[in-house]
Amino acid sequence: MSDIIEVSSNKIFGGWQKVYSHESYELGCRMNFGIFLPSQAEESPVPVIYWLSGLTCTETNFVQKAGAQKYASEQGVVLVAPDTSPRNLNIPEEDKDWDFGTGAGFYIDATTEPWKRNYRMYSYVTKELPALINDKFPILSDKQSIMGHSMGGHGALICALKNPGLYKTVSAFAPISNPISSPWGRKALSGYLGGTETNALWKDWDATELAKKYNGPPLDILVDQGKEDRFLKDGQLLPENLLSAAKDAGLPLVLRFQEGYDHSYFFISTFIEDHIKHHVKYLKS
């Protein structure tokens, strides 16, 4: 287990918002993650919610913009927010595009060169990071859930759907719900996995396709989507495809279209309390 180095620490709502860095064996680089520790964690281990951020983000976006610490403090849960990709690897063209490479790990394990050695965000967020968090902090390791936004909403959904029983529940804000059918998704999947949407491997990283064949414990999914989200209108997100697949599979999913809201953290901060309460309902049951 790698050592962690404290990068920052701020008192907030009776708890502590911290950022740490560590050497990642999955990603082959130094990674940062944010963690909010409520005051309850000073007395005994508490549940944990993982947050996965979207394209171009780092661990700081959620920490600074979502306003989630107040509600996590009230409910007595830890929040963990990792970075969105490996960084500073000197891979050719890793910084060429904003929606591929640095800041755009897509929470999958790449299989193509030159990405497959380092771009393993799925294994990082489902295995390495939770093991580190459980080892270093007062966490109830059997009480974890996951949520995210946009690319991170895609990540949260596939992590839960690919690992029945690992997370108590999952929620998402404006997720890329059907990446094999969206421009962002096709760019990422072709680059990291190779081929085209006819590549069967792509379906293993698509929430809509995974929902069709989910076979595990009950998983209550909450999705919020802003009606004025320009990426919804551009066909990047496709939540209706996920809803249809979940309905056909008998998988509980609530999709809420929020009038007037866009894709930003103004939208997220408005409904983050609802999402934390959704998670707590299952983390503390």
Of 53, 73, 150, 177, the active-site residue reads 150
Amino acid at 147: M
Phi/psi-derived region of residue 26, left when phi > 0, alpha when psi is between -120 and 50, beta in every other case:
alpha
* Contact (Cβ atoms closer than 8 angstroms) between residue 193 and residue 201: yes
Phi, psi of 74 (to 5 degrees): -60, -35
Return the structure tokens found at 275: 């999402």
For residue 171, indicate whether it is catalytic: no
Of 229, 275, 278, 279, the active-site residue reads 229
Of 22, 149, 154, 263, the active-site residue reads 263
Phi/psi-derived region of residue 173, left when phi > 0, alpha when psi is between -120 and 50, beta in every other case:
beta
Residues with Cβ within 8 Å of residue 193, at least 6 apart in sequence = 108, 110, 111, 112, 199, 201, 202, 205
Return the structure tokens found at 33: 């993650």
- CA distances to 103, 124, 178 from 23, rounded to whole Å, are 18, 11, 32
What is the C-alpha end-to-end distance of the chain, expressed in Å? Answer: 31
d(CA 33, CA 27): 14
For residue 220, indicate whether it is catalytic: no
Residue 130's closest CA among 52, 15, 13, 44?
A: 52
Return the structure tokens found at 89: 């690897």
For residue 263, indicate whether it is catalytic: yes
Residue with tokens 């599979």: 249
Residue 159's closest CA among 106, 80, 112, 100?
A: 106
Catalytic residues: 150, 229, 263
